[in-house]
Amino acid sequence: MSIKVKFWGGVQTVTGSNHLIRTDHSQILLDGGLFQGRRKDFYDINTKFPAPLSEINSLILSHAHIDHSGNIPTLIKKGLKGPIHTTTATAELCRFMLPDSGHIQEEDIKFVNKLNRRKKRPLRQPLYTKEDAIRSLDSFRGHHYHQPIKVTDDITATLYDAGHVLGSAVTVLDIQNRNRKIRLAYAVDLGRKKLPLLKDPEIPTKIDYLIIESTYGNREHEEITNAKGKLGEVINRTARRGGKVIIPSFAFERTQEIAYFINELQQEKKIPSMPIYVDSPLATNITSVFRHSLDYLDETTRQKIENDQDPFGYNRINYLRSSQESKKLNDDHRPMIIISASGMCEGGRILHHLRNNIENKNNTVMIVGYMAQNTLGKRIVERQPVVKIFGQEHKLKAEVVKMNAFSAHADKNELMAYVKQCGRTVKRVFLVHGDENQSDPLFRELIARGHKAHQPKKGEEITLG
């Protein structure tokens, strides 16, 4: 008789979170994240699972980010029958995030097959299509925080606010093994205190085992409270030059935070009046989820919505859906702010805005999120003098500003504090969701402070009791 955890995806790396909890009677998955990396690994890794899918009872989803939710359509297509338990907000966000992900994969495979056709190689199928993604939504079951969910006869789950993105949860599992009980917390991803729009992360009690992220296990973030001021400075400086501010941004969460701050800056007359655009249909849909998810927002934002104070700037900000509206911006040379996706500048409408604006030194590209290696976003952060967009070379003359304050992940000090606050009942802390250079230093720090920590390897199975 045993309770085991198998660390499968998002182990020694940040993408593709997926773990298995196995008792004598049940098997459940924590997260079904999409592994994002080189194309060859992409198909390989995203179609290997920690157990036969028909034997799995259920999946518990921590939040709507694609590296946690994005492989759910594959799991369902390949035989997962059980329900997907998550918060009501995450379930709603996935209605937009997953079909969008399916669409991106269909587009990518079109591009791959163009090459395959030319080289007379066999054509490939997308990992899943938009249709597959839409079908998978039927399996979602939305729950509110703090309500125990009877997942199987021997596992009960309770979701606590992770303060990371809208609807994000620290999953707590109460697992009954004969006359013994084990309480395990899965804090992946974990947010930060004082993030705009969100409540602070909650700390569950009486935890025996803690699985925690280590994305920034070796980094200290700038104070989030400085972010709005710095945003204002950059906008003012660019407006004085008569330039445009171009902000590549993830459609989910970061766009809503930036829109919230810019709207406030303009309400407070700290920046001049100028047109503001959120140019991403996905971001526009997601903002509408924020607007009616009152229970999930912090007190300040909730009150603003209830008092009709328009925190997402629907009266000031133009939320664009159609591509005609988007294209019109190319010929508009007034100072303006454009927030657009994709976040790492790898596709989407942001590419048009960058192509049209980075050669003008009066303009600013503001980087507000993480940029992975080998992305256009990364090349812009590195201020490479010439960058390729749609296969054409462009001189990067616009000012480039990088802001670190917006991170939605706990940093080194916040992770240490969280482990400490979980208390002395914790028998072991497992570090996942981090590259070695971030998780190793955190591991050493935890050991130095007397915590029993472990860095699981991919596929490693550990008996908890």
The contact set with Zn ion (CB under 5 A) reads 65, 67, 189
**CB-wise, 338 or 408, nearer to Zn ion?**
408
Taking the complex as a whole, how short is the minimal distance between the CB of residue 148 and Zn ion, in angstroms?
24
Taking the complex as a whole, how short is the minimal distance between the CB of residue 413 and Zn ion, in angstroms?
19
Taking the complex as a whole, how short is the minimal distance between the CB of residue 329 and Zn ion, in angstroms?
30
- Give how far Cα 189 sits from Cα of 176, 201, 216, 320, Å: 25, 10, 11, 30
Taking the complex as a whole, how short is the minimal distance between the CB of residue 57 and Zn ion, in angstroms?
24
**CB-wise, 15 or 340, nearer to Zn ion?**
15
Taking the complex as a whole, how short is the minimal distance between the CB of residue 437 and Zn ion, in angstroms?
17
**CB-wise, 9 or 232, nearer to Zn ion?**
9
Query: For residue 281, what is the enclosing H or E element?
Result: helix 281-292
The C-alpha atoms of residue 416 and residue 449 are separated, in whole angstroms, by 9
**CB-wise, 102 or 191, nearer to Zn ion?**
191
Sequence-distant (≥ 6) Cβ neighbours of residue 374 within 8 angstroms: none
Contacts 24+ apart (CB under 8 A), 39-42: 39/112, 42/127
Taking the complex as a whole, how short is the minimal distance between the CB of residue 224 and Zn ion, in angstroms?
16
**CB-wise, 371 or 401, nearer to Zn ion?**
371
The C-alpha atoms of residue 11 and residue 9 are separated, in whole angstroms, by 5
- If DSSP codes are grouped into helix, strand and coil, which group holds residue 116? helix
The C-alpha atoms of residue 79 and residue 137 are separated, in whole angstroms, by 15
**CB-wise, 182 or 212, nearer to Zn ion?**
212
Taking the complex as a whole, how short is the minimal distance between the CB of residue 152 and Zn ion, in angstroms?
25
**CB-wise, 213 or 279, nearer to Zn ion?**
213
Taking the complex as a whole, how short is the minimal distance between the CB of residue 407 and Zn ion, in angstroms?
11
Please state whether 362 falls in left (phi above 0), alpha (psi between -120 and 50) or beta: alpha
**CB-wise, 21 or 61, nearer to Zn ion?**
61
| Listed residue (275, 281, 273) closest to 324, CA to CA | 281
Rg of the chain taking only CA atoms, in angstroms: 22
Taking the complex as a whole, how short is the minimal distance between the CB of residue 65 and Zn ion, in angstroms?
4
**CB-wise, 90 or 280, nearer to Zn ion?**
90
Could you list the beta-strand ranges (E) of 217-312: 245-248, 276-279
Query: For residue 237, what is the enclosing H or E element?
Result: helix 227-240
**CB-wise, 66 or 380, nearer to Zn ion?**
66
CA 295 to chain centroid: 20
Residue spans of alpha helices (H) in 329-395: 350-357, 376-381
Taking the complex as a whole, how short is the minimal distance between the CB of residue 63 and Zn ion, in angstroms?
6
Q: At what angle do helices 254-267 and 227-240 cross, to 10 degrees?
A: 70
First to last CA, the chain: 8
| Listed residue (188, 194, 193, 195) closest to 215, CA to CA | 188
Sequence-distant (≥ 6) Cβ neighbours of residue 38 within 8 angstroms: none
Taking the complex as a whole, how short is the minimal distance between the CB of residue 164 and Zn ion, in angstroms?
6
**CB-wise, 58 or 168, nearer to Zn ion?**
168
Sequence-distant (≥ 6) Cβ neighbours of residue 264 within 8 angstroms: 228, 311
* Residue 415 structure tokens: 């992770």
* Residue 200 structure tokens: 């602070």
- If DSSP codes are grouped into helix, strand and coil, which group holds residue 132? helix
**CB-wise, 161 or 189, nearer to Zn ion?**
189
Taking the complex as a whole, how short is the minimal distance between the CB of residue 162 and Zn ion, in angstroms?
9
Give the sign of the dihedral formed by CA 394, CA 397, CA 403, CA 404: positive
* Residue 101 structure tokens: 């992900």
In contact, 211 and 432? CB cutoff 8 Å = yes
